[in-house]
Structure 1
């Protein structure tokens, strides 16, 4: 009898769960939330910034969802919670965060699992995000910190085969590759599984275009990040065991040779203990850190300190955090429970007092993803079964750790009215407001470029850093990719000298320079000066990102979703409104480049290309793969060695085409958050066919730009 009653109770409970109806709520203009069952605790939205509601309200549409949300089917299973959405045959899908080896995602299974290395093409990544957009003009975010799986049209239901009378395959495969090849036609089902939970929360973002769906996601996240102007300059990270004298010597090399550099990064050796971290200067290498900071500041450098969040027992942070950390150690150090506001406060206050107040402008937040899942011996990180005082488990903490780490330190910079640009190795959903650029220990050039395109779908920034290379051409082409990205970063943490003096690792560390080192140095200098010339254009693109949610770097499909030719193009992308980058990979001198609709100008030669076609284009190493849309006024600055609070950029306006649209420049002090108090200007650059006109609108009183010339192309 007891067993019978238990069976009835279990059946009723199962029935009640399966019949639970979803609720639909409009949470912001153009944004809807669909809730089923009891969603998990510790969702990404629990830690997001406030949405940019005014900016969302200014967008067109906002009246009804992009599709009938009641058609989303949910169910709970013994494994967790499942949602099913229907897709049209023509839809293409993009997103899922920092994906390095896939681009168009329909027909693939994506597992949203943070990992320190790519594992196949399933979706493991430094910054996987449970968000995708469709060419039908909508976006979907599953608000989970679990290892969710998205079956993007990969699964055909048995019900589809019941009445199947023909269409089977009678051919015998000749190889395993042929046998297990991808489906010729994907299904119309998007099936999403969130493990271990009895409910799910989904956000749906209206379009009606792909770009507008991304804009709404970024604005609902809080708006795109406003990086400091100096963050768009050049960053150089020195060798990990350098002392103060060697760092200063290298810093002087840049200045004496007129090589632009804004940011200098110290790698692990500055800590007295680095794995895990002491967060204390190593006295044998930096006996007087305050003096060192002042010396670097006097040369115009913004100092960036490497760290990870794991706290060694000798650290001043250990005792305050020992009761606010997980139950497993990493490299013998505590793992702070950043879900707990008090833990974030302790960690942040220490950084404020010890580093930020003394002149440190940024940090590199390393190792905040997870140990490589495919390597059984590489289990340096905390396990999924970890428990934290807040109640979050190890799986959820892995997914959220990077974004919580960013939030912890950015809160300190914000309350000090200082802007920064962090390096970070992991991120998650709703990260668009955080000025942090992702990086990786991986080094495939094509993957690095693909990640520039992919990052823009999910509110992320990516740095295709330069380390050692195989040849002169490889060095130049990789540097060009850096120039054409969110952050230009040379990561020489294991090189004694800059890679353009010697790109071979062993010879570099023996101080054996290339015979053509000075020639390469000159080529690199020219590229870095080009980057400095682009700062006003890029800075204004980031302002548009902040106020309108348009990613400054984005795949061609975002701007041209009706052009099927761009659906698979992962190695070309838009920079701001009017530039298209098409990096040459692995030292190549030729490649095929597709031009979307319109007319495009080669930045180097002014040669024109008609859109809607692909061309085989050859470029020498002194030419950069950059193209300008016809009708553009491109503001180019006279290059400076580094940016200061008083920098005035001297602007030459380059005109492409007989008729040019007005271009806007964003102007503020670029060091503080005063733009949030409307202390900024928009400067309109206009050309009437004969003369240029500069019009300034706003409340900021200091001039950051001086237009000196107009040049027709």
Structure 2
């Protein structure tokens, strides 16, 4: 939403009024309240026929200041509202000081100073110690706008034909970059982009996003969280090159500035404000498999796929039944297709007892087709969203006559939960919560009459995933619940995990997925996945194999397609060679299995810090490196591993290593950063480098399946370690066992009493038990 036509003119059809000065400052219990008229007040007469903007600055927590701008305070505060400080808000006392430069509100490490200059408007946000200026609200940076522009103030007595906006413009410093705002598939740095935060089912190759998160992270050591689930329009250096503009339709705009100074500290404070991710069970890190979206799920087909995987030395931990576990035209009615599942409980039990898979997942969505068994009951009892005339809201997009579950109705929530429990009774362990983006805003009325339909559009994803996640927690335990969700908004990180949506089977789409995962991770989502091989289309063997390498280094890994299978032998005619799809999948699945002691420990730490496990943007670990803020073709896996996916059939790849010594995982050869490097790889490797001063615990070679004893028969690998280097040890339930640590002499290992069996220690990288990948790596 642009309000100006260049620097000098207002955009056509707009009337814009700015906060021109801070006329009055009132100290409140929580901070400061600023009265800001839209003209400079030089005489008493100037106070007449003039709009004002009230700016409330509050300090709810150390390092966090909220900024709420209001035009007409009488506007109703309709919900839904984000669930802030879900873990409880700590008591905090802000400080207000008056000095020569202005009035300062301090929130621990972060302060906001309101300029004392007469007839001036200015608010500077800075570290409380004065060492760093973060951003500011300068002249003509806060305002209101009408569209169309009223020609007479009397016209605003009837606002039905006008749209009213509030906007703020925070300053962008020279060289500052902006990241996040959800799972966005375009350029990693958002400066220069116009972005609309509005959930949509748009695939991974447009400016639309399934997961719009109203939070962005700056390279200058702060973040901005916009506290509204409604549509937010951002012009990030795209209306004024030196400013990031945020606008909403309405009478209020509230956002929080969050100080680090490091990006990890920003995300930690953001997680206190909006919620930390929960832990995920160890089995969820393993390989997930489905026979694909439109394909069959009869027992013979499922068994043949799982037996084929086992024969080719790949263990599947979770089998997923996508849409057609229910009959067509009946989604979602929670009823297994009786032709494919004559006895679903027994069929699922046989599947698990066979040892081919340990857990089962099924697909659902919140849309109830009128031909399904669930529709009649939901309609009669008022569990579906209605039109304003009392009819049930329906359309034929996606499912014929589908309605939408009204999660603002407590009885509808109970009914939906009962439907889920029937699935759990049949042996279902986890749920794929698909869709949730197509939520109507026009001609709808929710059960809760205090709901604003426009705010519910994005927020629906939070309610939907929360209800399903809590049902899983109640059945299986707080840390055994796991989702596979597509839609999200701020706060949904509390209900892991999510996947990247419908991508094409191309290298470009794989790169889009990387950018999406990086951006979402910078919004506090610890766990993320994507459809290996691409969802749409038929991947060429080389794309499939490159994607397998990338996908098995994500926190979670799933083989899933649309109308074609993703089991490896269907991709390349069952090439059984070392470079074939089957062997490639087996090798990368085995590598992830070996990494499980590291992944489970790093996953626990990621949850505590509110940061991503994988994909973790390089800038989170190396914020002082300017190059790290522009890297969108590589990622960190936890704190110590760096991976660079390959998007080229020939295997050539260019990547960047920050300052320090880095060891190639596959060869133990060492590179010195910072710098750009080029390599060529076969399908069994990619640039996977271990950071110096790393103590890496690897599971025993040959183990199949993600769940095993992570302290038994392990290999403890030392990479240029110094005194104090450490690694946490967790068991397969996520319980902490202890910490391994390098002693003062730089070589002795403390904490070895926590290890079991025939464990080994490798002092210069890991033991090379499989030399074949290293033979295909060329340094260019």
User: Which bin holds the TM-score, normalised by the shorter protein?
Assistant: 0.7 to 0.9
Would the alpha carbon gap of residues 629 and 433 (structure 1) be closer, same or farther in structure 2, given more than 3 Å must change? Answer: same
Moved more, 36-45 or 274-283: 36-45
The residue matched to 2:199 in structure 1 has which SS?
A: coil
How far 1:604 sits from its partner (Å)?
Answer: 1.0
> Out of 206, 216, 222, which is 1:132 matched to?
216
Match of 1:390 among 442, 448, 455: 448
Q: For the Cα contact (< 8 Å) 2:204–2:513, is it kept in 1?
A: no
Residue in 2 that maps onto 1:456 = 521
- 1:335 equivalent in structure 2: 404
Q: 1:539 aligns with which of 591, 595, 600?
A: 600
C-alpha contact (below 8 Å) 2:326/2:333 kept by paired residues? yes
Distance 1:514 1:628, change over 3 A: closer
CA apart distance, 1:350 = 2.1
Are 1:193 and 2:247 an aligned pair? yes
Paired residue for 1:447? 512
- SS of the residue 2:110 aligns to: coil
Task: Work out the CA distance in 2 between the residues paired with 1:15 and 1:150.
Answer: 32
Is residue 277–residue 308 contact of structure 1 (8 Å, CA) maintained in 2? Answer: yes
Aligned match of 1:599: 661
Q: Distance in 2 between matches of 1:66 and 1:695?
A: 46
Q: Is the 8 A contact 2:728 2:740 kept in 1?
A: yes
Q: Per-residue deviation at 1:578?
A: 0.7
Change (3 A) 1:341 1:459: farther
Q: Are residues 1:144 and 2:232 paired?
A: no
Q: Rate the CA distance shift 1:343–1:411 in 2: closer, same or farther, 3 A.
A: same
Q: SS at 1:388's partner residue?
A: coil
Question: What residue in structure 2 maps to residue 35 of structure 1?
Answer: 68
Shift of 1:532: 0.9
Q: Deviations over 1:560-605 (max 9, x none)?
A: 2232222321011111111111111143411221111111111111
1:369 aligns with 2:437: yes
Find 1:206's aligned residue among 240, 254, 259: 259
- 1:106 is matched with 191
Q: Secondary structure at the match of 1:27?
A: strand
C-alpha displacement of 1:647: 7.5
Q: Report what 1:180 is aligned to.
A: none
Looking at structure 2, the residues matched to 604 and 586 of structure 1 have their Cα atoms a distance apart, in angstroms, of: 20
Structure 2 residue 403 is the aligned partner of structure 1 residue 403: no
Q: 1:244 to 1:27 in 2, by over 3 A?
A: farther
Q: CA deviation at 1:206?
A: 1.6
Q: Is residue 250 of structure 1 aligned with residue 305 of structure 2?
A: yes
The match for 2:720 among 635, 657, 661 is 657
Kindly state the Cα deviation for residue 75 of structure 1 after the two structures are TM-superposed. 3.4
Question: Which residue is 1:58 aligned to?
Answer: none
* Matches of 1:465 and 1:119, distance apart in 2: 11
Q: How far has the Cα of 1:133 moved from its partner?
A: 0.9
Structure 1 SS opposite 2:266: helix
Partner of residue 305 from structure 1, selected from 353, 362, 365: 362
In the TM superposition, 1:128-527 aligns within 5 A as 128-156=212-240, 186-187=241-242, 189-195=243-249, 197-239=250-292, 240-273=295-328, 276-298=331-353, 299=355, 300-313=357-370, 314-316=372-374, 318-320=376-378, 322-327=381-386, 328-330=393-395, 331=399, 332-352=401-421, 354-370=422-438, 382=440, 384-391=442-449, 392-416=451-475, 417=477, 419-443=480-504, 444-460=509-525, 461-467=527-533, 470-496=539-565, 498-503=566-571, 513-514=574-575, 519-527=580-588
Instruction: For 1:25 and 1:283, locate their aligned partners in 2 and report how far apart those are by CA, in whole Å.
Output: 58
Check the 8 A contact 1:223/1:433 in 2, yes or no: yes
Structure 1: distance between partners of 2:50 and 2:417 = 42
Larger Rg: 2
Q: Which runs of 5+ in 2 are unaligned?
A: 1-38, 40-44, 92-105, 115-122, 125-136, 147-163, 387-392, 765-780
Task: Name which structure has the greater RCO, CA cutoff 8 Å, separation 6+.
Answer: 1
Q: Which sections of structure 1, spanning at least 5 residues, go unmatched?
A: 1-10, 55-60, 157-185, 371-380, 505-511, 697-702
Say if 1:136 and 1:533 are closer, same or farther in 2 by CA, change over 3 A.
same
Aligned partners of 2:618, 2:599: CA distance in 1, in Å? 17
The change in CA–CA distance for 1:357 and 1:529 in structure 2 (over 3 A counts) is same
TM-score by length of 1: 0.82
In the superposition, relative to structure 1, how do residues 366 and 120 fare at CA in structure 2: closer, same or farther (>3 Å)?
closer
TM-score, scaled to structure 2: 0.75
Contact 1:479 1:527 in 2 (8 A): yes
Q: Distance in 1 between matches of 2:50 and 2:688?
A: 55
Q: Deviations over 1:381-418 (max 9, x none)?
A: 64555332224355333312222211011111222315
**CA-based RMSD:** 3.0
How far, CA to CA, are the matches of 1:589 and 1:415 in structure 2? 47
Q: 1:572 to 1:62 in 2, by over 3 A?
A: farther
Tell me the number of residue pairs that the alignment of Structure 1 and Structure 2 aligns: 632
Distance across 2 between alignment mates of 1:647 and 1:629: 21
Match of 1:684 in 2: 740
Q: CA deviation at 1:640?
A: 3.0
CA distance in 2, matches of 1:705, 1:15: 80
CA deviation string 1:183-222 (max 9, x = no partner): xxx22x2211112x11122122121122211221123322
The alpha carbon displacement at 1:125 in A equals 0.4
Q: Contact conserved, 2:593 with 2:706, CA < 8 A, in 1?
A: no
